[in-house]
Amino acid sequence: MEELIARVTTKTGLDAATAQTAIGHILAFLQKEGPATEVAQLFAAMPGADAAAAQSNAGEGGGGGLMGMLGGMMGGGVMALGQKLMAAGVPMGQMQPLGAELFAFGREKAGEDVMGPIVGSIPGLNQFV
C-alpha cells in the first residue's frame, strides 16, 4: 500500500494521509459496488487493500452528516464517492488523477482481466479512470 500512496501523492500533490484516506474510500466503494470475484482478486493482488477499505468503512458511522445526506439524495454510486473524497480533502481536480493512478496500479498488480470488469460494471466510474 505504501507504493500506491507514494504514487498517488506524487501524481496528485495530496499529502500521504489524505491519499491513504482517499484510496481507502475508493477501495471500499469498489468492494461495495463492484463484481465480487474481480474485487477479491484485486484485493488479493494489493496487500493492505482489505485494511484500507475496512478503515474507510469503520468511519462511515450513522448518517454521514450533510455529505452522506447529499450522497443519498444523489442516488449514491460515483457521486457519493466524489462527496466522500471531497470531504476527505481531495479537490475536484485531483479526483481523476487519483482514480487513474489507483487503477493503473491495479492493472499492474492484478491485470486488465480483473480491472476491466470492475470498471465496466460500475456506472460512471470510467470517467475517473
Q: Work out the percent of the chain whose per-residue pLDDT is above 70.
A: 86
When pLDDT is cut at 50, 70 and 90, the band that residue 128 belongs to is confident
Contacts of 69 (CB under 8 A, 6+ apart): 63
Measured between alpha carbons, how far is 67 from 82 in angstroms, rounded to an integer? 10
Residue-wise pLDDT tens digits, 111-120: 999 999 999 9
pLDDT at res. 127: 80
Q: Domain ranges for the chain, please list them.
A: 2-128
Residue-wise pLDDT tens digits, 88-122: 999 999 999 999 999 999 999 999 999 999 999 99
